[in-house]
Every structure is written in C-alpha cells, then in structure tokens.
Structure 1
Amino acid sequence: MASLSRFIPEPKTAAIVGCPFSGGQPKAGVDEGPIRIVEAGIIPQLEDLGWKVKFDGHHEFENISASLTSDPPIGKLKNPRLVSQVTEAVAKAVGAHAQNGELPVTIGGDHSLAMGTISGTLSHYPNACVVWVDAHADINTVETTDSGNIHGMPVSFLLGIGSKVPEFSWVKPLLKPDSIVYIGLRDVDAGEKQILREHNIKAFSMHEVDRYGIGKVVEMALDHVNPKRDRPIHLSFDVDALDPSVAPSTGTPVRGGLTFREGHYICEAVYETGLLVALDLMEVNPSLKDPVDVEQTVAVGCSLLRSALGETLL
C-alpha cells in the first residue's frame, strides 16, 4: 500500500517524533496528545500500511524546562526561552530524520512546534512547500499578538516577518510567502489578515471550501505552492481545522470547520502526490472534554495520520 513516494527511499520509514509540549499556549493537557495517539496504536496502524516505523520514545523536554530557572515574558511573548529551546531541539530531530531519508511524523503538542518541524524540513529540503491546515493562521508577530501565546505565531518566525527576538535567532527565515498555503481558516485576527494581504500569502478559508468543494480547493492550493508537482511537501495539520463536532478535544475550537471527510481528503490528496516529506499533527488535547470526546478526537488524529501515509477507502 505504501508505494508512492518521490523523496523517501525504500524501505520507507516513518519516524514518529512525539512532542509532549504545551508551552506555546496556556491550556494544560495538549502535551498528552502524542502519548494518547501512540497508546491508541498509531505505530502498528502505520506498519499495516507498509511503513517501517521508528519510535524511540517521546522527546523529553523536562531537561530544557529544568535548565530554565526563569522565563519572563519578552514583550507580550509568554515562555519565549522554553518555546525557543524546545522548537530548536525539534528542528534538529526532524532535520536528522529527513537527512536519513525518513519521513518525520511529528505529533504535538501545541502548534508552536511547527517552528521547529518546518525548520527541520527546510534544512534538508530547502525548496519544500508547506500546506498548513488550521482554523487559525498562526502568523501573528510580536507587534500583532494580543495573547502572547507563541502557538499563534510560528509562521511569522518561519517567514522572518515582524520584529526580531534574539532568543529565536536560530530560526532562519527560509520559508517564502509563496511557499505556504492555508486551508480551513475561519478565525483570523485583524493583524493577521493584514499580514496575509501584505505578503500575498495564499489562504483558502472555509468560505472557499464551501464555494468550490474540498477537491477543487486542494487542487488550487497545490497549484499555488507546487504548480509543477515537483517540490517536497510538509503537511502541518492542526486538529482544530476540523469542526468541533468532529474533533472536540482541542484548545481553541471554532465552529464551522472541516468535516471528517474534508479533513481526510486533504491528507489523502497530499499523499497521492507522492511528494510528502514531513507531517505534523498538532493540538489534540485529551484533558479537554469528556472521555468519549477525547477518544473520538484521538481516533480522528490517528485516522488523519493514516490517510496522509497512504490509507485509502478502497
């Protein structure tokens, strides 16, 4: 089943990068997401699809936390040193897997981690493009953020926009505005809307999904960032892109999101290109909602990962 891949050599290996991290936002519990997804059997599920799966245990960020005696805000930014050091460690891990010819599957944790995962991908595949599936644009800058929660800011760091924060000097602005495309947006701050317009960043909100249907939206998104279908793709999927009726256990749910099938279709279509080189699944928070909702959200998370790695309906 796991045939199709232009960049990942046989025998194809998926490297699970478990990131139990919640420092980019205020709600506890999102650090449990990767643990629950692994416990739910994602490793044998991917092996059943023909992947070799490498998993050496979840990343231990405790040593980073322990080494930080204090982490006062920088401007509005909360936990800046912790987030910087953790995302830098993640960048190194993801970059090393990419270097080895493996496909890193990063399970978060909060979406600030994408600062690390995408940096890691770009360190090995400098011409990679990013398909970012999310209710939120996560492109606030130091100037535009209201909350100071860094999970709402990773894209601005990756693009190098907004004023520089010395603590994040390790993040090289390797991502170009025409190399990222959004699908599923529906809760975008005023400052973020302005940034998307100013930098001419392509975004397909739920309005376009309603208008054109998900098949056409994915095609248009790929036409934008990958017109010749020859660039490696990094898929970064925040479960809050899905409607809360589909994935309730997440920190910032927004009504009117992608259906179960729309979310899966994006993953299936990206896999079908044969260009996927890295995959993130972020913001599953098993401490929010009741056990039934949690189980449903964890199951959906596993199912999205399987779809992105080649599971088909027939």
Structure 2
Amino acid sequence: MRPLLVPYHLDDHLPELDIPVDASTTIERELGDGSPWERMARLYDAVAEDVAATARHGTTPMVLSGDCTTSLGAVAGLQRAGTTPSIVWFDAHGDLQTLETSHSGYLGGIPLRILLGYRPELISDALGLHPVEQRRTVLVDGRDLDPPEQEFLGTSPVRQCPVAELNASTLPDGPIYLHVDLDVLRKEDVPSLVFPTEGGPSATAVDAALAEVLASDRVVAVGLACTWHPQCGSAERVARLCPSLFG
C-alpha cells in the first residue's frame, strides 16, 4: 500500500497529526476563502488526483486523515481511475446524518450519506463524485447511531453488520473501498479519541474483521480516520492493535 497523509480535520490543518505508518506523501494546500465545503473541495480534489494516479499504477492507496470526510476525495479518486467501488465502512458512528437532521451541524457526521448521493451540490459535484449504490455498502459496527440514522437504515439497502459477524459472505460485490474510523475500537484501547463511544468490539475482533476484508483481494483503497487528539500516543497503540493493516 502507498500511505498518503492528509493532516486535516474538515478544513482545519492538523500539522501535528500522528499516524500509525510512515506516509510516502503529504497533501497540504492553501484552501483560500469560502465555505467549509468549498475549502474541503479544493483539498479533496488534490486527494482524488493522488488516489487516481496511485490506483492507475496498480498500487493500493491508503489515505490517512483526521476525520472521515476525506473519504469523499478517496472515492472520487477511485472513480476517476475508472473503478466503481463498493464500501465497507468500519465506524462506531453511522456518519449518515444530514444537515437537515443533525442537531449539532457537525459536517464530519455526514460523509457516508454524501457518498450515497445526499445533496451532491454540497461537494460531490465539485469533485465529480458519483453516488455509491446503497446495496453495495456495509456499515460495520455503528454502535452509536442517532435516531435519523436508524430511520435511514431501516428503509435503506445499506447493510449494518457487527464486527464479529463480518465474513466473506457479508462483503459487497466488486472492488472495495475499505474505510476505518479508528474510533471503532474501544475507548479503553485508544484513550485519546475525540469522539469516544462506550462499548465496542475488542481490538482482536476488529483486526480479524479487517483481515477478512483484506483477504478478499478486492480492496482497491483504504481510508483511515485517525480521529484522536494528536501526539497522545494513539498512533503507536493502533499500530500494535491492528497488525492486519500495519504489520
């Protein structure tokens, strides 16, 4: 894999963000004026270009950043390279909110919904990002869902799967974009998470599930959301806990 560091949380630069693997490239941009969506579109366009170039050379890109919205650039890049990816999304949260349903308005709570086609005028149109089919999307864990997210999943073909039940038969068809928000791990395992969530699977179970996805030989890109406070030791802990990704 080719690790690509995007040291941002949304459009905020995180120059001290530590990650579990050495990056071969770091993408940093002057984002200029405009709305957060406009600023992120400039950043994610650069991400998409790097991902597309890497994929065209037959190498699997691994995009590491401080949140999950960078997935928009990663998937757009795969599509630019001619790939129509499915999604396997490891996360303690759903990331399926909308601006209309979110009480907090936190933009990091909606990227999976955007990938599935929500309001393309926000950023998808600028990136040339096409919706991923809901039936080809699996949310792994998602133990902390807001009521609107639960309602969406109740009527959507998106599948939700506990970590322990993920296996070859539950994976979607086609090439896979594997997204891992590392808050899928228990807060006891990664104590400096920005949005820690009670409960959750053991690190051993998460690593086994990741190994199952990687063993499919269909993973065409990996997105890692390093959702922790920088320089608190989380990167080193995660590198030890998830040898399937970093071993």
The TM-score, its normalising length taken from structure 2, stands at 0.88
- In structure 2, give the amino acid aligned to 1:188: L
Which of 237, 244, 247 lines up with 1:307 in the alignment? 244
CA distance in 1, matches of 2:60, 2:204: 24
Which of 116, 121, 126 lines up with 2:78 in the alignment? 121
CA distance in 1, matches of 2:59, 2:187: 32
Which residue pairs with 1:218 in the alignment? 167
- 1:282 offset after TM fit, Å? 0.5
Which of 44, 47, 55 lines up with 2:24 in the alignment? 55
Matched, 1:250 2:237: no
User: Are the equivalent residues in 2 in contact too, given 1:267–1:304 (CA < 8 A)?
Assistant: no
CA distance in 1, matches of 2:143, 2:15: 25
- 1:284 offset after TM fit, Å? 3.4
Between Structure 1 and Structure 2, whose CA radius of gyration is higher?
1
Which residue pairs with 1:110 in the alignment? 67
CA distance in 1, matches of 2:13, 2:201: 23
Q: Structure 1's 199 and 31: CA in aligned 2 closer, same or farther, altered over 3 A?
A: farther
Which of 199, 210, 217 lines up with 1:274 in the alignment? 217
Which residue pairs with 1:141 in the alignment? 98
CA distance in 2, matches of 1:185, 1:267: 15
- In structure 1, give the amino acid aligned to 2:212: A
CA distance in 2, matches of 1:60, 1:146: 31
CA distance in 1, matches of 2:157, 2:169: 15
User: Are the equivalent residues in 2 in contact too, given 1:30–1:285 (CA < 8 A)?
Assistant: no
- 1:126 offset after TM fit, Å? 3.0
Q: Structure 1's 270 and 88: CA in aligned 2 closer, same or farther, altered over 3 A?
A: same
CA distance in 1, matches of 2:241, 2:87: 17
CA distance in 1, matches of 2:190, 2:99: 30
- In structure 1, give the amino acid aligned to 2:170: A
Q: Structure 1's 308 and 239: CA in aligned 2 closer, same or farther, altered over 3 A?
A: same
- Listed one character per residue, the Cα deviations across residues 169-201 of structure 1 (whole Å, up to 9, x for unaligned) are 224233100111011111111111122222221
- 1:124 offset after TM fit, Å? 2.6
Which residue pairs with 2:229 in the alignment? 286
**1:155-234 mapped onto 2 (5 Å cutoff):** 155-161=112-118, 163-171=119-127, 172-204=129-161, 208-209=162-163, 214=164, 216-222=165-171, 225-226=172-173, 231-234=174-177
* SS class of match (1:285): coil
RMSD over equivalenced CA pairs, Å: 2.4
Where in structure 1 are there 5+ consecutive unaligned residues?
1-13, 44-53, 72-78
Which residue pairs with 1:23 in the alignment? 10
Where in structure 2 are there 5+ consecutive unaligned residues?
none
CA distance in 2, matches of 1:82, 1:122: 21
* SS class of match (1:82): helix
User: Are the equivalent residues in 2 in contact too, given 1:19–1:31 (CA < 8 A)?
Assistant: no
Q: Which has the higher strand share?
A: 2
Q: Structure 1's 97 and 303: CA in aligned 2 closer, same or farther, altered over 3 A?
A: farther
- In structure 1, give the amino acid aligned to 2:39: L
- Listed one character per residue, the Cα deviations across residues 244-300 of structure 1 (whole Å, up to 9, x for unaligned) are 01112221110111211011112211221222211111133234xxx7xx32x2124
Which residue pairs with 2:45 in the alignment? 88
Q: Which has the higher helix share?
A: 1
- 1:168 offset after TM fit, Å? 4.0
Q: Structure 1's 88 and 255: CA in aligned 2 closer, same or farther, altered over 3 A?
A: same
The TM-score, its normalising length taken from structure 1, stands at 0.71
Percent identity over the alignment?
Answer: 23
User: Are the equivalent residues in 2 in contact too, given 1:183–1:203 (CA < 8 A)?
Assistant: yes
- 1:220 offset after TM fit, Å? 4.3
User: Are the equivalent residues in 1 in contact too, given 2:60–2:221 (CA < 8 A)?
Assistant: yes
